[in-house]
Amino acid sequence: MLKKGGGLDTPVQFLKGIGPKRAALLAKLGIETVGQLLFHVPKRYVDRSKTLPIRRLAPGDEVTVFGRIAATGSRRTKTYKQLVSCLVRDESGMIEAVWFGRPDLKDRFRTGQEIMVSGKVTLYRQKQFVNPSFELLEQNNEFSGTGAIIPVYPLTEGFSVWNMRRAMRTALGKYLSLVPETLTREILRHYDFPDIRTALETIHFPKDVDSALRGRERLVYDELFYLELVLALRRQRYAEIRKGTRLAQTGELTDPFCKRLKFTLTRAQERVVSEILGDMGQEKCMNRLLQGDVGSGKTVVALYAMLVACENRAQAAMMAPTEILAIQNFQAWAQTLADIEVNARILTGSTRQAERREILEGLEAGSVRMIFGTHALIEEGVKFSKLGLVVVDEQHRFGVMQRAALLNKGLNPDFLVMTATPIPRTLTLTVYGDLDVSVLDEKPPGRKPVKTQVVPESRRDKVYGFIEQRIEAGEQAFIVCPIIEESEKLDLVSAIQTYEKAQVAFPNRRVGMVHGRMKSSERGELMDRFRRKELDILVATTVIEVGVDVPGATVMVIEHPERFGLAQLHQLRGRIGRGKRSSYCILFVSRPGLGESSERLKFFAGTTDGFALAEKDMELRGPGEILGTRQHGLPDLRVADIVQDKDVLTQARQDAFRLVELDPALERPENAFVRTTLKSRYSGREELLRVG
Ligand code: ADP
Ligand code: MG
């Protein structure tokens, strides 16, 4: 990097035409230096020469039009909403644009001004734009010489597209020659990418949309290539530094285990087991993420791996986020493991002192070879004789530190994290990109997909009647609510109220309730009673979300489903449909067809594919919120959008990983260039390059 004052790290405020005030606005966009400004890339482009004449617009069209303001006005509607209107005219005709609740606009529009309006054409007496986005174009058209393509930038209030263009023009004029090339000639040639300076020039002042998009793609590739390079290097170093023990399958314990299994493994389970055993059999440490939808049978896969560790005279630990889950994992398998000599035990916060002491001694001496538990496993007093494998269930519930704490109890144990939250592929390629990934993409046979329906509140009686029938047939039901106490503000039905109502609606049935403010022992007790069929209906908050297994439950009613994200709804629904009988998920909505949330619920009702739901979730919420690259110790992405640019991502990843495979230390002369770029890009942030 060049020295301050003159280089790309010159603060934007020193650019001609940008003082402290405008610099503060730019800072809101994350732009502090000239370099960052140059890499602030338009979201899209509008080609003026291709826009429709106003006369030809049809209702439903999503368009951008150019015209002059023929008249402006403001008034209140019948419902007392502020409305600002503006009549836009081009050579062919006129259209009205209106904005609700934006009284500030009144003073911004002037008759005769040129304006660009983008939005959907609707019909209200006549053709109209409602709350469209717009840009006022400068009267003295100083950019008339720059062609018909208008870049649309991510902007902030008070900083117009024209401010942006002017700043860009100045910055390019003075600083473009300082921008260093970052991709090798080979890559540029291979993808036919423009060099960096041409790319930036075309991105900001394009002659045509195609070449602008080409330029953008180059920057996207560039950014993702270096991100993936960091991941590839990290993974490489994991393998080198963390030399573990070779744990190979002998069959001593796994054979009797397989004989005792009441089912045969699915093909997906077999495949994943062999992927895991492949890792464990090598000297390097396993570092693997196992993804499998709820009910896909992750536990048996983990047990298999744990037994392999035990066969090698090592110990294996499985940590679950809650006591309920730890106990469930343990109990479900205690029978099967009973006469296999691993002395499997469970350790949680409520394990009694005497037993706890005995378990700790057993772990330290090596006589307890397999341990299940909660956070209790990472407490100070817990010592292992030889911990060979750590399994963490529902990994998103644990922080990085907690995982590390358990790993540190062994000498570089193999590591398997499991999650039932399907992670979109784009994320497994980025924030989880330094882990190996296994996927259980097949459910055990005989499961019927849960039937899901969005039902209006008004049909509650019908639904209750249906539940009554199911209970009569020996089945059970969940009723799930988003919170536990009445909040007038949010107008939610609280669990307590729902519980009381359910008791009234089902006078002859046994209704129970669990929520997050109960003691976990009390909650566990109730869950147990439900599992033992001593309760017919369980009213619950989202505490039942993770992993709980009640095969008899076939109905789930979700109150206020619009309050839940897709991923969470999916987790909830995964609690039913675990047996052989048909299951039903009912989403109660007060008013059907309510904008974004109704699209979301409809999508949810239409698929049980967790990955499809995860992708959709990311699409709806945007990757930014979910991505959190910083948290994962990775750089922010400025240009690339991993959803939109997923093809480039895949390509860049392949290229980066291949490069590291061929030249792990980046020491070949032809890669010197990449090495320098990597270093300069992370200068001052070397910690990002270090092993995670
Ligand atoms: P999850 O992936 O949600 O943790 P579990 O491991 O709890 O799923 O498995 C769900 C249920 O499916 C358990 O009751 C388990 O015994 C059963 N199961 C697992 N694998 C198979 C299989 N191959 N065939 C039949 N049932 C299976
Ligand atoms: Mg599980």
User: Where a domain ends, among 376, 399, 419?
Assistant: 419
pTM attached to this predicted model: 0.68
What pLDDT is recorded for position 683? 67
Tell whether 39 and 59 lie within a shared domain: no
Distance 444 CA to ligand 1 centre (A): 7
| Mean pLDDT on 466-486 | 86
Answer yes or no: are the C-beta atoms of 619 and 599 closer than 8 Å: no
CA-nearest of 561, 530, 563, 565 to 544 is 530
Residue 685 lies in a domain: no
Instruction: Please check whether residues 4 and 118 belong to one and the same domain.
Output: no
Mean pLDDT of 278-295: 88
Ligand 1 center from residue 329 Cα (angstroms): 11
- Say yes or no: CB of residue 575 within 6 Å of ligand 1: no
* CA 546 – ligand 1 centroid, Å: 15
CB 233 within 8 A of CB 659: no
pLDDT score of 510 more than 90: yes
298 within ligand 1 shell (Cβ under 6 A) = yes
One domain, residues 549 and 532: yes
Dist CA 636 CA 29 (whole Å):
13
User: Torsion-angle region of residue 424: left (phi > 0), alpha (psi -120 to 50) or beta?
Assistant: beta
Domain final position from 576, 607, 638: 607
The pLDDT score that the predictor gives to residue 635 is 63
Q: 3-class DSSP state for residue 654? A: helix
Please say if the pLDDT value at position 634 is more than 80.
no
**Does 458 lie in the same domain as 598?**
yes
Model confidence pLDDT, tens digit, residues 331-372: 889 888 888 888 999 999 989 999 999 999 999 999 999 999
234 lies in a domain? Answer: no
Q: Does residue 323 share a domain with residue 264? A: yes
Residues 485 and 553 occupy one common structural domain: yes
Give residue 488's pLDDT band: very low, low, confident or very high (50, 70, 90).
very low
Q: Is the pLDDT of residue 18 over 50?
A: yes
Atom of ligand 1 nearest to the CA of 292: 2
What CATH number does residue 324 fall under?
3.40.50.300
Tell me the pLDDT tens digit for each residue of 138-155. Answer: 655 555 444 578 888 887
Say which range, 376-390, 525-539, 590-604, has the weakest mean pLDDT: 590-604
For residues 168 and 86, state if they share a domain: no
Residue 421 in contact with ligand 1 by CB distance below 6 A = no
DSSP characters for 599-628?
Answer: HHHHHHHH---HHHHHHHHHHHH-HHHHH-
pLDDT over 60 (residue 484)? no
Q: Which ligand is nearest to the CA of 372?
A: 2
For residue 376, pLDDT beyond 70: yes
Q: List, for residues 408-460, the tens digit of each pLDDT value.
A: 787 788 889 998 877 777 777 776 777 888 999 888 887 788 999 999 989 99
501 & 524 share domain: yes
Domain at 64, CATH number: 2.40.50.140
Question: Under DSSP, is residue 116 helix (H, G, I), strand (E, B) or coil?
Answer: strand
Domain boundary among 558, 579, 607: 607
- Same domain as 137, residue 65: yes
Q: Going by CA atoms, what residue is nearest to atom 4 of ligand 1?
A: 298
pLDDT tens digits for range 590-611 = 876 656 678 889 999 999 888 8
Residue nearest ligand 1's atom 23 by CA = 265
Q: Calculate mean pLDDT across residues 511-534.
A: 86
Query: Is residue 214 a part of any domain in this protein?
Result: no
Does residue 656 lie within any of the structural domains? no
Is residue 665 one of the residues assigned to a domain? no
Is any atom of ligand 1 closer than 6 Å to the C-beta of 301? Answer: no
Mean pLDDT of the chain: 85
**Structural domain span for residue 8:** 1-43+161-179
Ligand with the closest atom to the CA of 447: 1
In a domain, 616, yes or no: no
Residues with CB under 5 A from ligand 2 (ion): 547
- Give pLDDT tens digits for 538-575: 998 876 655 567 889 999 999 989 888 888 898 889 88
- Ligand 1 centroid – CA 297 distance (Å): 3
Does residue 205 lie within any of the structural domains? no
Alpha carbon 358 to its chain's center: 42
47 pLDDT above the threshold of 90? no
Based on the structure, what is the number of domains in the chain? 4
Q: Is residue 200 part of a domain?
A: no
Residue 241 clears pLDDT 70, i.e. is over it: no
Q: Do 408 and 263 sit in the same domain of this protein?
A: yes
379 and 501 assigned to the same domain: no
Q: State the CATH number of the domain containing residue 168.
A: 1.10.150.20
Judge if 10 and 133 occupy the same domain.
no
Give the pLDDT mean for 222-232.
Answer: 90
Alpha helix positions (H), 420-538 = 425-428, 460-472, 495-505, 520-531
Locate the ligand 1 atom nearest the alpha carbon of residue 294 and give its number.
3
Q: Would the pLDDT of 485 be above 60? A: no
Residues 367 and 496: their CA atoms lie apart, in Å, by 47
* DSSP string computed for 524-556: HHHHHHHHTTS-SEEEE-GGG-SS---TTEEEE
